[in-house]
Structure 1
Amino acid sequence: MSEMTRREWLLSDAPQTRRQARLGALYQGWLTFRRNKLAMLGLIILILLVLTAIFAPLLSPYSPYAQNLGDRLKPPSAAHWLGTDSLGRDILSRLIWGSRTTLFIVGTVALIAPILGLFIGTVAGFAGGWVDQVLMRVTDIFLAFPKLILALAFVAAMGPGIGNAVLALALTSWPPYARLARAETLTIRRADFIAAARLQGAGPFRLLIRHIWPLCMSSMIVRVALDMAGIILSAAGLGFLGLGAQPPLAEWGAMISDGRSFIMDYWWVAAMPGLAIFIVSLAFNLLGDGLRDVLDPKGAKE
């Protein structure tokens, strides 16, 4: 085989080799994740949550909006497994439909906030100088306020509603991602492969997109998974205060608010949605720990 033929063969085989390496890395990551039993439990719970939200019309025994005052505040029974609320609505049905609202809020915030934080943090860390100072001081201003209090201020200014609640949570959740992305960028920007890419003519935008962002993704994914519980609690807090999803939409925080007046005598009205929030938040935390073991070996527990 001539030298040119051998080179062409190696170049043609390179994509397949890289693909095999990626598949091998994914398989090894899955094996590491699977050994964490608690992480697997969290993943199973979240898969069940997604399936529940998708098949809510089929799984719900009653309409989440149908009122029956004759059955109001009924305890858990064969007819209503988790009881009924003050308007006679089936709590199980409202929890099932409320999973859609929860996943919508979590998914949207988890899509907007990390992307915004990644962009701001990498630009600040890569550009340096006055750009870094301005962007980080803006980040510090957002971090100076408790996230829920700042979200309350945004929602109060924009008006109650699930769309405004999602936007407020996204606008108050990006600063930690920006700080994390900046720290990662500062350790990468002077690396040899960045200098080599510059010599090949890569501009700042290409360096960010092709070289820096991929190296920041593992830390961002772990941080997002660990922050999901906080996002759920913040969304439930807005719903509890009447600033999130509006009636008659089923939302777990609003369901707790509806049941707080009956907590002493009819505990199930507030306890059931509270238990759902607890289980889902715990599942996200367990999943985040498992992802940290896979994607961030330096921070993995011994």
Structure 2
Amino acid sequence: MSAVSRREWLLSDAPQTRRQARLGAIYQGWLTFRGNKLAMLGLIILVLLIAMAIFAPLLAPQSPYAQNLADRLQPPSSAHWLGTDALGRDILSRLIHGSRITLFIVGTVALIAPVIGLFIGTVAGFAGGWVDQVLMRITDIFLAFPKLILALAFVAALGPSIGNAVLALALTAWPPYARLARAETLTIRNADFIAAARLQGAGRLRLLIRHIWPLCVSSLIVRVALDMAGIILSAAGLGFLGLGAQPPLPEWGAMISDGRTYILDYWWVAAMPGIAIFTVSMAFNLLGDGLRDVLDPKGDKS
């Protein structure tokens, strides 16, 4: 085989080799993740939650909005597996439909906040100088306030609604991602491959998008998975205070707020949505631990 034909063969085989290496890394990551039983438990719970949200109209035994005062505050029974609330609405049906609201809030915040944090953090870490100082001082201002208090301020200014609650949570959740992205950028901005790409004519924007962002994504994914529990609790807190989803939407935090008056005599009204919040939050934490083992080999896995 001549040198020219060998070079052509190597170039033609390179994409396939990279594809095989990528598939092998994905498979090894799946084996590592599957070996973590608690992470698999969290994944199963979240898959069931997603399926429940998708097929809510089929799974719910009754309408989540149907009121029947004759059946108000009924304990769990064969007619109402999780009991009824003060208006005679079936709690199980409301929990099933409320999973859609929970996934909407979590998914939207998980799409907005990390993107904002990734952009601000990588720009600050890569540019340095006064740009880094200004962006990080803005980040420090947001970090100086408790997340829920700052979200309450935003929702109070924008008005109570589920859309404004999502926006408020996204605007208060990005600073930790910015800090993490900046730290990752500072460790790689002077690497040899960055210098080589710069010598080949790559501009700042190309360096950020093609070389720095992909290396920061894995750490952000782990942080997002671990932060989902906090986002759920913050959304439930806004709903509990009446600043999130408005009645009659079956939001889990609002359901706890409705049942706090009867918690001593009719415990199931507030306990059932509380158990749902606890279960989903635990599932996200378990999933985040498993993703950290796969995507963050530098972390402490003890």
- 1:24 paired with 2:14, answer no
Classify the secondary structure of the residue corresponding to 1:106.
Answer: helix
Q: Percent identity?
A: 88
Whether contact under 8 Å (1:52, 1:96) holds in the other structure is: yes
Q: Deviations over 1:246-280 (max 9, x none)?
A: 01111000000000000000000000000000000
1:276 maps to: 276
Q: Which residue of 1 aligns with 2:64?
A: 64
Cα distance, 1:166 vs. partner?
0.1
Other-structure match for 1:115: 115
The one-letter code matched in structure 2 to 1:273 is P
Residue in 2 that maps onto 1:230: 230
Unpaired runs of 5+ residues, structure 2, are none
Shift of 1:25: 0.2
**Cα contact 1:238–1:253 (8 A) shared by 2:** yes
Equivalent residue of 2:298, what SS? helix
Give the drift of 1:300.
Answer: 3.7
- SS at 2:255's partner residue? helix
Tell me how far 1:64 sits from its aligned partner: 0.2
Give the alignment of 1:194-273 within 5 angstroms. 194-273=194-273
CA distance in 2, matches of 1:287, 1:260: 31
Q: Paired residue for 2:83?
A: 83
The 5 Å alignment of 1:180-191 reads: 180-191=180-191
Corresponding pairs, count = 302
The match for 1:101 is 101
Do structure 1's residue 298 and structure 2's residue 287 form an aligned pair?
Answer: no
Judge conservation of contact 1:83–1:268 (CA < 8 Å) in 2: yes
Question: What letter corresponds to residue 247 of structure 2 in structure 1?
Answer: P
Could you list the runs of 4 or more consecutive aligned residues of structure 1 that deviate by over 2 angstroms after TM superposition? Answer: none
Q: Normalising by structure 1, what TM-score?
A: 1.00
* SS at structure 2 position matched to 1:88: coil
Q: Which amino acid aligns with 1:125?
A: G
Coordinate RMSD, CA, aligned: 0.5
| 2:166 counterpart of 1:166 | yes
Shift of 1:220: 0.3
Report if aligned partners of 1:292, 1:300 keep a CA contact under 8 Å in 2.
no
Determine the C-alpha separation between the residues in 2 that align with 1:18 and 1:195.
23
Structure 1: gaps (5+ residues): none
Displacement of 1:301 in angstroms is 1.6
Quote the Cα distance in structure 1 between the aligned partners of 2:56 and 2:229: 22
Q: Post-superposition shift, 1:298?
A: 1.7
TM-score using structure 2 length = 1.00
Deviation at 1:39, TM superposition (A): 0.3
- 2:192 corresponds in structure 1 to 192
- The aligned amino acid for 2:231 is I
* 2-structure distance, mates of 1:290, 1:62: 36
Which aligned pairs between 1:148-167 and structure 2 lie closer than 5 A? 148-167=148-167
* CA–CA separation in structure 2 for the residues paired with 1:13 and 1:246: 58
**SS of residue in 1 equivalent to 2:137:** helix
Code of the residue aligned with 2:224 in structure 1: it is V
Matched residue type, 1:126: F
Tell me which amino acid in the other structure corresponds to 1:288: G
Partners in 2 of 1:243 and 1:4 — Cα distance?
A: 69
